[in-house]
Structure formats: structure tokens, C-alpha cells
Amino acid sequence: MLPPVDTDEQWDVVVPDEAVMRPGVEDLCGRLGLAGAPLHRFTEGSQPVYAVGDDLVLKLFPGAAADDALAEARVLSHLQGRLPVPTPRVRASGSYENGWRYVLMSRLPGEDLASAWPRIPRADRERLVTEAGEALAALHALDPGPLADVLGPGDWGAFLGRQRAGVVARQRKCGLPESWLEQIPDFLDAVPLPLRADAPPVLLHTEFMRQHLLVGSVGPGGSVGPGGSVGPGGSGGSGGSGGGAGRLGLTGLFDFEPAMIGDRAYDFVGVGLFVTRAEPGLLGRFMRAYGRTFEPRELLAHTLLHVYSNLPWYLRELPAPPEPTLDALAQAWFDTGYDRPQATGIKVR
């Protein structure tokens, strides 16, 4: 069985150690009727995740993250069959030993979009971005009420207030230079973020990014092919293996562990930083497919207040603004125009 993991220190000792994790995973699979199934641990993600055979994925949550397991299982069940892009189907979920919980889910076909992106032609990128915008719009159109008992933060305004109170300290801890830190209070003062009266809280993914989207062969009528890598020399991603004819399309959206209920603009942090990544025209295309637009300064404000915000990392990964100001940064990363020159040297971490 797996040992207790209730602190960060215990997590650092137990979770990375496959010699400790594997026997517990094998035991749990046996209890789930999957004894002897091949196991492969994925390297990505904040929680330990295993492929079980070709068709299943087992995601484990230590006691310190037990609430996240409940949230993911509930959200996936709520979403099943309701989005234009497939999401994992929950096969089983529950408690294991020593506070651990698990979610056993179907494995989606395809390669993660982050790995596939460099090999995807511009026309296909544009179509995929359109599909992603439509998928996020469908997610935000669902009633989040049935999930209010498992998803936070409850009071969105209070959540933003707490994030605002600690934003400078968090970015300083990440290593943001003082020349940027000193701009944050005035910038946020000038960009109020009340929850819009005409836009009630929605179900948020909170990490809508290439790494959580799968791409592969999609047949007529949107049917998903057997999956596989994209283009020559592609390596398999989080999805299943195989191949198939058809146009390139989104074959999956996953990782709903950090889902929340709040302002829809919050999800556009991930969109701008990790899907469109300042590539000219793509954010505007995404927003058109989504059905509404957001101002660049509003999205940068949400970026600063995001739970996982790390501005120094983003500054290393994305194109630099023409001048070192937050206003210029908002335009560089979240502008929806089509007339900027092509950005180069963009890396996906």
C-alpha cells in the first residue's frame, strides 16, 4: 500500500520514488480488477498518473490533495458527452489507503498539442485554435451549480481580494525584478475586476493550455480516429497510440483537477500564455470562436492574480514587450490584432 502523504515534505519523499509508488499502484489495480495490466507512469502533471494498459488512466491523489480527487471525478462526470471535444470518462473513483484517493478514467487518443505544435502547419493551427475556442465556450455555457459543493472559491470577489493582497510578495518570491514589482499595485488599481452582472460565474478549467489538449485524426462528423502522433517523427503524447486517416482536430481535453467556478476571463490567462502564445492573429481567432472578447489589460491583471502565476517564467518564455511596462506587456501577450510581425523563438516548457 501507499504511505501517508499529508505534507509537502512527505510528498517530496514518496511521490517521485517509483520504488515506493509502484507496489501501491499494482495493489490498487488488483483491487480494481486490473491485476497484471501493464503500467506506464506519465512524467507530466502535479499528481502521479499511470497508463493502465492501452485504454485506461489511473490518477492518484495523496491525502493532502484528496479534495482534488473528488473535484476531478465530479467535474468529469458532469462534463461527459457535453463538450464538442472528448473528455475522459470516469470508470471508477474512491478512497484507497492512508488518505489516498484515485480516479480511474478512459484514455483519450492523440498527442498533446504542445508536443505536436511545431509540426502543425499554420492553417491547421488556426483551425485547432477555433476548435479550442468553441470548446471553452461550451464549457463556460454549462451550469456550474451542481459542482458548487466541490469547487471553490465560493466568493469570487473575496478570492480576487486575497490574490491581490499577496500578489507582489508572490511575484517577488518567483524572482520578479523590483522594476516590475513596483508597477503592479498601480496597474491593478487601474484595472478593476468585478464579476460582471451580465456574466454569471462559470465552470473554469483554470489551466486551458496546449499541454492539456490532445490532437489527432478526426473523421467525418467529428468522430475521433484511433489517435497517434501528428506528422512525421512524432512521439506519442498522453493519448493512446495508433494512426488513422482524417483531418487534424482536437481529440481530447483533460486535467480538471484545478477546476474552479468564477469569472470566465480567468480561463483566458492559460489561453493567451499557453495556447496562442502571442502568435499573430491566433488570440483574436480564439475569441471570435469563443463569442466574446476581453481587453489585454484585463487579461494581464488576471494573469498576475492567477493561483499559479509566475511572471518571471512567462517573461522568459514569451516575446518581450517593446518597453518594460505592464501596459506594453498586456499588448504583447494579449493583443487580438492580426498585423504584428511573426514572433520567433517561442518555447513550450
Q: List the beta bridge partners of residue 224.
A: 218
- Whole-number pLDDT of residue 232: 32
What is the Cα Rg of the chain in Å?
20
CB contact at 8 A, 203 and 259: yes
- Whole-number pLDDT of residue 228: 53
Q: List the beta bridge partners of residue 93.
A: 103
Distances (CA, A) of 187 to 96, 168, 172, 182, 199: 47, 12, 16, 9, 24
Residues 6 or more apart whose Cβ sits within 8 Å of residue 274: 114, 207, 208, 209, 210, 211, 348
CB contact at 8 A, 215 and 251: yes
Strand extents, DSSP E, the chain: 39-41, 49-52, 56-61, 90-95, 101-106, 111-112, 202-204, 213-218, 247-253, 260-262
- Whole-number pLDDT of residue 20: 96
Grid coordinates of 49: 498518473
Grid coordinates of 95: 478512497
Grid coordinates of 127: 483551425
* 93-69-12 Cα angle (round to 5): 120
Q: List the beta bridge partners of residue 215.
A: 111, 250
Distance separating alpha carbons of residues 125 and 248, to the nearest angstrom: 9
| Domains in the chain, CATH or no CATH each | 8-106 (3.30.200.20), 113-209+257-334 (3.90.1200)
Distance separating alpha carbons of residues 139 and 84, to the nearest angstrom: 9
CB contact at 8 A, 67 and 130: no
In tens, the pLDDT along 58-99 reads 999 999 999 999 999 999 999 999 999 999 999 999 999 999
Distances (CA, A) of 245 to 35, 118, 119, 214, 230: 34, 20, 17, 16, 11
One DSSP character per residue, 133-173 reads HHHHHHHHHS--GGGTTTS--S-HHHHHHHHHHHHHHHHHH
The residue ranges of the chain whose pLDDT is under 70 are: 194-198, 220-245, 338-349
- Whole-number pLDDT of residue 339: 40
Distance separating alpha carbons of residues 301 and 330, to the nearest angstrom: 9
Grid coordinates of 166: 499577496
DSSP single-letter state for residue 249: E
Grid coordinates of 320: 518581450
Strand, coil or helix: what is 59?
strand
In whole numbers, what is the pLDDT of the chain averaged over residues? 91
- Whole-number pLDDT of residue 86: 98
